[in-house]
Amino acid sequence: MSTKNHKKRLFVEHVVSLCSKLGIRTIAEGIETEQELKECKDMGFNLVQGYFVEKPQMDLAALKLNYDSLNKIKSARDKTDKYLILENLKSTEPIHIDDKI
Q: Report pLDDT digits (tens) over 49-60.
A: 888 887 776 677
pLDDT for the residue 54: 78
From residue 7, how far is each of 1, 14, 27, 46 by CA, in Å? 10, 11, 20, 21
Q: Report pLDDT digits (tens) over 1-58.
A: 678 888 999 999 999 999 999 989 899 999 999 999 999 999 999 988 888 887 776 6
From residue 47, how far is each of 39, 82, 86, 92 by CA, in Å? 12, 21, 26, 31
Q: Letter for the amino acid at 86?
A: L
More confident site: 71 or 16: 16
Q: Letter for the amino acid at 94?
A: P
Q: Where are the domains of the chain?
A: 3-91
**pLDDT at residue 101 above 60?**
no
pLDDT for the residue 43: 92
